[in-house]
Every structure is written in structure tokens, then in C-alpha cells.
């Protein structure tokens, strides 16, 4: 029986007429039932964030720029008749976008940010559906509302409700696929309990794709992007980065969580729980094999598989006498951090300190909550800003004796100080914190020494 697949296309894979046609060609050239998930046209989500931050003089200007960006692609990608078909879908949706821009009441909604940010996907899905039709297959653009992607959670941090989504997509999406049509679904957001769009955080279309794969019980999820696969480091940072042919779910998840932007941090789990392999492929070079992320049991010969980094972080150190022997105090401090609902990237403790690694933007709120804790518990708080986390991943990494010694030797050679270490929390990764201004040197040195072998 033909395999069921979910194919996700990122912003640069639909960001120009050529890219759009190439993406459509990939879909049409793939056999079997398939559903497509799409991100906003490259640059559009950043543009919408600019709108929220008041970067534009007027909403008329915003409307004009937004419409032009999409029309530019459509005019060059479609013939006359196809363009007129496209305009029938595009026109009314653009009117709804205009109305949203001018709706003062809508702005008061705590999920307005999500609503506005999700607009890009509502238009890229129209472009791609029409491009697929132009390339010779039947396609239907569906919003997350129409497909039934159910979510809950805070603004810009939604979680998919898999049970409800599964019921909905089996009703709304699967029959289209069975009829040979290609549903082209908006990535990036799901629909909250009040019918409001809630986004999955930046890069969230990958998560939308694996969540849909989970809900449809797909055989494969393909992430089509602008690089040849999951690489040993970000090729924009490390020019010598190489493609990794295959990796297991936990390696991919660790790297994604700690900075490898090629996958959204939460996108691995929905695939892992149903053993669905994720293929990462280059839409600009579909012939390249890409990376397969799956249940890879066999240990790899390479000690270090990849290095990722995450910048703009801060270490908050809380001092409290003999805290290590007073678990209730630790609990109070952790409670205070939890109230801020922030992401904690690492925790480390000593006899009288507990240190947390969080995003620079979360420092203010976290300090406010920590300052409310009894002064008998919290004696002193120290903040070190502008640090970066380095995440080194390899499946036999922690089992290998003395490896951390080599790593920290390389860090020293790169002229950096290690500010915090978190080894052993996961058996595939070694994470440590260095000052932001030395992180590029550290990542490149580690990559040269342990992956390319050039610096040995
Ligand atoms: P898309 O728009 O297709 O979702 P993204 O920009 O979100 O694409 O992710 C792809 C980018 O991720 C690449 O262009 C690359 O610069 C970056 N990246 C960071 N770390 C890695 C890595 N380890 N492997 C591949 N790409 C990476
Ligand atoms: N368009 C959204 C973003 O830029 C989602 C995505 O690209 O995955 O963050
Ligand atoms: Mg992305």
C-alpha cells in the first residue's frame, strides 16, 4: 500500500516564484496520499512582528506591502487563468486581513498577537495550493480552523491536542487525501478553546507538520527546507558543516531544543511517539538524500555528531546558606521561577547556590518573582547576562571516558571561560555556557577538532 506522508515546506521554499513552482513540483512528483503543511512566505512573519511593534506609519501601508509581496510571487508563478483563479481565493482573504488590521477591539484580545502572526500562513497556503493545481494535481487550501488542528496554552506557546486533532483531521483532511487531492494546510498555529488562533512559537510549522503526521498516523513526515539536511552545525556559522545521514530522535530533539533552527524544538516528540521517521530535505536540491531522523539504535562511530548554540541567555544565581541540604527552600525558589512560566535551559547547584539559565527577555519577570520569596531563603541574587549555551551531541559521547576533558580543553584553546555546565541530564548531550562573544569560536573549534578532524 502507498505510504501516507506529510510534507512541510518552510518560508524560503515558497518565498519566490521559482521556489514555489519547485515545491509544487515536489508534491506533484510524489506518489500516494499526502498532506502539505506550509510556513509563511519568507520574511512575512518578521514583517507581521514589525507591525505589532509599530514599525509602520499606517495600516494602509502594511496592507499594501503585504498584498504586494504575495501578488509579486503569484504574478510571476501563475499564467493568466491560474492567476484569476488564485485571485478569487486571495481577494476575500485579503479583505479579511485588512479588516483585522483596522479592528481596534480585536487588538484588546490577549491572542491578537497570534491572530496577526498567523496571517502569513493563511496566504502562503493559497499560493502553494494554486501552484500545485497549476502543476497538475488537485489541491485544496485549508486553514488550521478548517483542518481542525486543536491547541491550547499560552499565546505563542501552544500545544496540540492530539486526541481532538486526530478526530478532526480524519474527518476533514483524510478523505481529501483518499480522493487523490492534496490538502495544503496552514502551519504555525492551532485553534484554541475559544476558536482563537494560538501559534506554536517561532518556527512552529515543523511542529504543526509532525503533529499532523501523528494525528493522521502518517508513515513519513518530510521537512522541506533550504539546507541539505540536519547538519553537524549551522552552516551559516560553521562553513565546513556536513550533512548527517541519519540520527535518532533524542539527538535531533536535543539539538533542536538547544538551538539547531532547522527543526522546531517540539517537533520531534509527536513523530517519536508514533515511530514516524522525519526526513529533512532541501527543496532547492530535492535530489540530495537529506537526513533521516528515526529510531536509530546502532551506536555511531563518531564521538561527536553535532554542535548547536543558543545565544541571548542569562544565568541567574540565587545564594542561600546550605541550600543543598534544604530541599524545601529549593522547592520555593523553583516555584518562584515556575510562576514566570519561562523556559529554563539548565540548572546547576552547589552547597549554597542554585543557578538557572534563562532567556535574556525573561530576566525581569523572573527577578520580580524571586524577589517575592522570603529573604531568609533568598539571601542574594546575581545576574550574568549575554551568555550562550553550547550543546554537543553524540550517542556514545557520555559513555566515552575523558571526553568532557577534551571538550573543555578545546574550549580553553578557543580562549573562552566555561560559566556553567550541565552534563549527564541527557545521555546524548553535553551542554555548557560560555560568554556570547566567544561562542562562535567555541563552536567552530569543537567542530574543527572533533567533527571535521582538521584541528586535531
Ligand atoms: P524553514 O524556513 O525551512 O523552516 P529555517 O530557517 O527555520 O527554515 O531552518 C533552516 C535553517 O536552520 C538553515 O538555513 C540553517 O541556517 C539553520 N540551522 C541551524 N542549525 C542547523 C543544523 N544543525 N543543520 C541544518 N541547519 C541548521
Ligand atoms: N512562519 C513562522 C515563523 O516564521 C512559522 C515557521 O516558519 O515555521 O516563525
Ligand atoms: Mg523553520
Short-list 320, 316, 381, 383, CA closest to 352:
320
Q: Find out whether the beta carbon of 277 lies less than 6 Å from any atom of ligand 2.
A: no
Q: Find out whether the beta carbon of 103 lies less than 6 Å from any atom of ligand 1.
A: no
pLDDT recorded at residue 196: 97
Short-list 301, 294, 261, CA closest to 277:
294
List the Cα angle 101/105/111 in 5-degree steps.
Answer: 80
Q: What is the pTM of this model?
A: 0.94
pLDDT recorded at residue 425: 56
pLDDT recorded at residue 402: 78
- φ/ψ region of 274 (left if φ > 0, alpha if ψ in -120 to 50, else beta) reads alpha
pLDDT recorded at residue 396: 67
Q: 3-state SS of the chain: helix, strand, coil percent to 5?
A: 40, 20, 35
**Ligand 3 midpoint to CA 207 (Å):** 10
Q: Find out whether the beta carbon of 261 lies less than 6 Å from any atom of ligand 2.
A: no
When the candidates are 3.40.630.10, 3.30.1300.10, 3.30.2130.10, 3.40.50.9100, the CATH number that belongs to 306-452 is 3.30.2130.10
pLDDT recorded at residue 342: 85
Closest-approaching ligand to the CA atom of 251:
1
Residue whose CA lies nearest to ligand 2 atom number 6: 203
> Block means of pLDDT (10 residues each) for the chain, length 456 residues?
93 97 98 97 98 96 98 97 97 97 94 98 98 98 98 95 98 97 98 97 98 98 98 96 94 92 97 98 97 82 85 94 84 87 87 93 92 84 95 76 83 90 72 94 93 68
Q: What is the dihedral of CA 198, 203, 204, 209, to 10 degrees?
A: 150
Q: Find out whether the beta carbon of 202 lies less than 6 Å from any atom of ligand 2.
A: yes
Extract the C-alpha cell encoding 39: 510556513
Q: Find out whether the beta carbon of 41 lies less than 6 Å from any atom of ligand 1.
A: no
pLDDT recorded at residue 284: 96
Ligand 2: atom nearest CA of 10 is 7
**Ligand 1 midpoint to CA 288 (Å):** 16
**Domain spans of the chain, in order of start:** 5-226, 306-452
DSSP-assigned letters across all residues of 145-159? HHHT-BEESSTT--E
Q: What is the C-alpha separation between 425 and 95, in angstroms, rounded? A: 50
**Ligand 3 midpoint to CA 320 (Å):** 41
Residues 306, 280 contacting (CB under 8 angstroms): no
Residues 142, 186 contacting (CB under 8 angstroms): yes
Which CATH architecture is the domain 5-226 placed in? 3-Layer(aba) Sandwich (3.40)
pLDDT recorded at residue 214: 98
Residue whose CA lies nearest to ligand 2 atom number 9: 202
Q: Find out whether the beta carbon of 11 lies less than 6 Å from any atom of ligand 1.
A: yes
Amino acid at each position: 500500500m502507498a505510504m501516507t506522508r506529510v510534507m512541510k515546506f518552510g518560508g524560503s521554499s515558497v518565498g519566490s516564484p521559482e521556489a514555489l513552482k519547485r515545491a509544487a513540483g515536489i508534491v506533484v512528483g510524489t506518489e500516494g496520499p499526502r498532506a502539505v503543511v506550509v510556513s509563511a512566505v519568507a520574511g512575512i512573519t518578521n514583517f507581521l512582528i514589525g507591525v505589532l511593534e509599530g514599525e509602520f506609519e499606517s495600516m494602509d501601508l502594511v496592507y499594501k506591502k503585504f498584498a504586494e509581496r504575495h501578488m509579486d510571487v503569484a504574478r510571476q508563478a501563475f499564467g493568466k487563468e491560474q492567476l484569476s483563479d488564485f485571485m478569487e481565493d486571495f481577494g476575500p482573504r485579503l479583505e479579511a486581513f485588512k479588516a483585522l488590521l483596522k479592528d481596534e477591539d480585536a487588538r484588546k484580545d490577549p491572542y491578537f498577537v497570534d491572530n496577526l502572526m498567523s496571517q502569513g500562513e493563511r496566504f502562503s497556503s493559497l499560493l502553494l495550493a494554486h501552484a500545485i493545481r497549476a502543476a497538475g494535481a488537485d489541491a485544496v487550501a485549508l486553514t488550521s480552523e478548517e483542518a481542525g488542528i486543536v491547541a491550547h496554552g499560552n499565546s505563542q506557546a501552544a500545544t496540540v491536542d492530539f486526541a481532538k486533532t486526530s478526530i478532526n483531521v480524519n474527518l476533514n483532511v483524510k478523505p481529501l487525501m483518499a480522493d487523490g487531492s492534496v490538502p495544503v494546510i496552514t502551519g504555525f498555529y492551532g485553534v484554541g478553546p475559544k476558536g482563537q488562533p494560538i501559534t506554536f512559537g517561532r518556527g512552529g510549522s515543523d511542529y504543526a507538520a509532525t503533529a499532523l503526521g501523528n494525528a493522521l498516523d502518517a508513515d513519513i513526515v518530510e521537512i522541506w527546507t533550504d539546507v541539505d539536511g540536519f547538519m553537524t552545525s549551522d552552516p551559516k556559522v560553521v562553513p565546513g558543516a556536513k550533512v548527517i545521514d541519519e540520527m535518532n530522535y533524542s539527538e535531533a530533539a536535543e539539538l533542536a531544543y538547544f538551538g539547531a533552527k532547522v527543526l522546531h524544538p517540539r517537533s520531534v516528540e509527536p513523530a517519536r511517539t508514533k515511530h514516524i521517521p522525519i526526513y529533512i530535505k532541501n527543496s532547492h536540491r530535492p535530489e540530495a538524500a537529506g537526513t533521516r531522523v528515526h529510531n536509530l539504535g546502532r551506536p555511531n562511530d563518531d564521538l561527536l555528531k553535532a554542535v548547536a548554540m543558543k545565544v541571548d541567555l542569562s544565568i541567574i544565581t540565587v545564594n542561600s546558606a546550605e541550600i543543598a541540604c534544604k530541599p524545601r527552600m529549593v522547592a520555593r525558589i523553583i516555584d518562584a521561577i515556575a510562576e514566570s512560566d519561562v523556559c529554563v535551559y539548565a540548572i546547576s547547584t552547589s552547597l549554597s547556590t542554585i543557578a538557572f539559565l534563562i532567556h535574556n527577555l525573561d530576566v525581569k519577570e523572573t527577578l520580580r518573582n524571586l524577589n517575592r520569596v522570603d529573604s531568609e531563603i533568598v539571601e542574594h541574587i546575581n545576574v550574568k547576562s549575554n551568555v550562550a549555551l553550547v550543546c554537543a551531541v553524540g550517542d556514545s559521547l557520555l559513555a566515552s571516558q575523558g571526553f568532557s576533558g577534551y571538550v573543555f580543553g578545546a574550549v580553553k584553546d578557543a580562549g573562552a571561560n566555561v560559566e556553567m555546565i550541565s552534563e549527564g541530564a541527557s545521555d546524548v548531550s553535553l551542554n555548557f555556557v560560555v560568554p556570547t562573544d566567544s561562542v562562535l569560536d567555541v563552536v567552530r573549534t569543537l567542530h574543527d577538532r572533533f567533527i571535521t578532524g582538521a584541528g586535531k
